[in-house]
Amino acid sequence: MKYERIDKQLFIENRARFKAEMQAQSLAAFNSNDIFATSANSTKPFKQHSDLLWMTGVDQEESILVVFPDCHDPKHREVLFLKETNDHIAIWEGEKLTKEAAYETSGIRTVYWMDQFETVFKQLMSEAQNVYVNTNEHWRANTEMQTREDRWVEWCKNKFLAHNYLRSNPILHKLRAVKHPIEIELMQHACNITEKGVRRILPFIKPGVMEYEIEAELCHEFIRNRSTGFAYTPILGSGRNACVLHYIENNQECKDGDVILMDFGAEYANYSSDLTRSVPVNGRFTKRQKDVYNAVLRVKNGAIEILRPGITLKDYHVQVGLMMEKELVDLGLITIDDIKQQNPDWPAYKKYFMHGTSHYIGLDTHDYGPWNAPIPEGSVFTVEPGIYILEESLGIRLEDDYVIHKDGHTNLMGNIPIEADEIEDLMNA
């Protein structure tokens, strides 16, 4: 790993919070992700399962956590199973966690090698009545591919069919939505790296530059600051490409007179940042471009004043829609008659602003959190309104990441330039 070791107190407290939500006489298990094969003997870089990471800090494959708060043997109330390391593995793959290093990482005293798992787990299951299994229940998840966790759940249910099975994911949605102060620090660090990337590319962008060259500059800056790279596949869309919401080809030339929409963020210690800026390729907005830009910025600034603990995301998005409606009328893109005659299920403003304004962010870019219940204090959200005018080949989106407090917010990207005049000044410095 490139990042500094995280304070294990975070994981000790996370496990304590999870255990407090468990039913009596229950154990819960969490698995690492697979290393994904591509072809021949090639693999993708390993990416840890965010639930296991949130509970332990363990960032390697073939790992299992079992928590059993009511176990009669205190040493088996938290158990970590790891791939056994040796000199051969250290030479060929790099060092894995030793039992001592696993404790320093996670705060878990009882660590076994994976070849002991079935023996120890059978012993624990003989005492437990309920088993919390972990499945991916994020509402936007694609669950077609079977994961290591999925295979383990299938194995467990076949092996121990008489037990009562419960779901871990609703607990995780509740708990992971509220960020620990250590998590906020890590996310701030990710945002600070993203700021370095922004300040690197603004003077670099000029007519004739390729979208992928900007991507390369960002990747360089991120990795040299101990990030593993992008938190998600970056969007660098110039001109008409800015109107494609998930444009990731990044293979076109940036042309004079166009605006380039850049949606990217650095990852640090597996925590995501998520930023969008829209800048003029030649360093100066036209009047029309600046008018649209400032309209989006007004909606963004208004939206964050609405996003407070207690509001539901559904109600929040309705209120943001009303703000966007006014801006689009003022820009001449929709009319009052369009609004009067609109389909309530697809309001008139959706022609130019067709996506949601905010999502939870944390270990996952689209992180866990309640969507149909009031949002909790201490959660972290993106705020990212946009206006996309395909007929003008103009797309503007602006996005920052915010910690939501009871009576206010903290912008983790508050040091990153966003005002149109400031963007122009930095591009022409």
86: number of Cβ within 10 Å = 8
Q: Which residue ranges form the domains of the chain, and what is each CATH number?
A: 9-176 (3.40.350.10), 181-427 (3.90.230.10)
pLDDT digit string, tens, across residues 94-153: 778 999 999 999 999 999 999 999 999 999 999 999 999 999 887 777 878 889 999 999
pTM value? 0.95
Q: What are the C-alpha distances in Å from 176 to residues 18, 116, 180, 361?
A: 10, 30, 9, 10
* Cα–Cα distance for residue pair 243/287, rounded to 1 Å: 19
Contact between 169 and 387 under an 8 Å Cβ cutoff? The reply is no
| pLDDT for 91 | 67
Q: H or E element: which one contains 381?
A: strand 380-383
Q: Is the dihedral of CA 178, 181, 182, 185 positive or negative?
A: positive
Amino acid at 9: Q
Whole-angstrom Cα distance, residue 71 to residue 39? 44
pLDDT of 429:
82
Cα separation, 29 vs 76, in Å, equals 13
Query: How distant, in Å, are the alpha carbons of 239, 240, 243, 289, 303 from that of 390?
Result: 9, 7, 6, 13, 24
- Residue ranges of the chain with per-residue pLDDT less than 70: 90-91
427's torsion region: left (phi>0), alpha (psi -120 to 50) or beta? alpha
For residue 43, what pLDDT is reported?
86
Q: What percent of the chain has pLDDT over 70?
A: 99
Query: What is the predicted pLDDT for the residue at 85?
Result: 78
The pLDDT of residue 141 = 76
pLDDT tens digits, one per residue of 358-383 = 999 999 999 999 888 999 999 999 99
Run of H or E residues at 421: helix 420-427
Tally of CB atoms within 10 A around 20? 10
